[in-house]
């Protein structure tokens, strides 16, 4: 394993083990101005629906939806970069999302992490403004923050995983710039 890969993996664990929820506005607006007409018609999403919607946005490389569904992060561009899916691959990916099972964690839960580590969920991870949710076959839980009426995904673990994939040279990792000619 290269030093770069080890560094990114340590960042990934650090995000979860030293989770510091994003700061919330003192008095959130009654309605988020970032909602699309489709969002307004559908009403507020559950946290689980938000996670699925984020992955659909990532599959579709929908930058606006990704920004709308996540807490601000300077590395969000990593979520819409990657190999373009064929229509058949997209359909398979969406079908996979539909098979996901979610588990909301509560204070005191032990969440297994890669490398045999465990995270004990505390009140900083799970409260009226923050959730930790595990998904079928995902090695890491998702972190969500409530902003106004909306749940948003804290994408730091997803971004760190994308960096790990890029360091390992895996398919679907962020696109690399072509060298100048």
3-state per-residue secondary structure call for the chain: CCHHHHHHHHHHHHHHHCCCCCCCCCCCCCCCCCCCHHHHHHCCCCHHHHHHHHHHHHHCCCHHHHHHHECCCCCHHHHCCCCCCCHHHHHHHHHHHHCCCEEECCCCCEEECHHHCEEECCCCCCECCEEEEEECCCCCCEEEEEECCEEEEECHHHHHHHHHHHHHCCCCCCCCCCCCC
**pLDDT, position 21:** 53
Q: What is the mean pLDDT of each run of 10 residues along the chain (181 residues)?
A: 40 47 42 43 77 94 95 93 89 92 95 89 95 88 93 92 82 48 45
**pLDDT, position 170:** 62
* Whole-structure pTM value: 0.71
**pLDDT, position 26:** 36
**pLDDT, position 16:** 47
**pLDDT, position 114:** 82
């Amino acid at each position: 394993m290269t030093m770069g890969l080890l560094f990114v993996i340590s960042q990934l664990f650090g995000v979860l083990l030293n989770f510091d929820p994003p700061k919330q506005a003192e008095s959130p607006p009654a309605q988020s101005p970032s909602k699309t007409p489709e969002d307004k018609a559908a009403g507020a999403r559950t946290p689980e629906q938000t996670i699925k919607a984020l992955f659909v946005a990532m599959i579709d490389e929908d930058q606006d939806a990704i920004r709308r569904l996540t807490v601000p992060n300077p590395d969000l561009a990593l979520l819409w970069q990657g190999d373009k899916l064929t229509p058949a691959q997209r359909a398979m990916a969406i079908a996979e999302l539909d098979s996901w099972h979610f588990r909301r964690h509560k204070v005191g839960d032990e969440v297994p992490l890669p490398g045999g580590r465990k995270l004990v969920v505390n009140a900083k991870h799970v409260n009226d403004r923050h959730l930790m949710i595990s998904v079928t076959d995902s090695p890491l839980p998702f972190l969500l923050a409530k902003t106004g009426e909306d749940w948003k995904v804290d994408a730091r673990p997803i971004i760190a995983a994308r960096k790990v994939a890029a360091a390992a040279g895996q398919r679907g990792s962020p696109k690399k710039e072509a060298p100048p000619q």
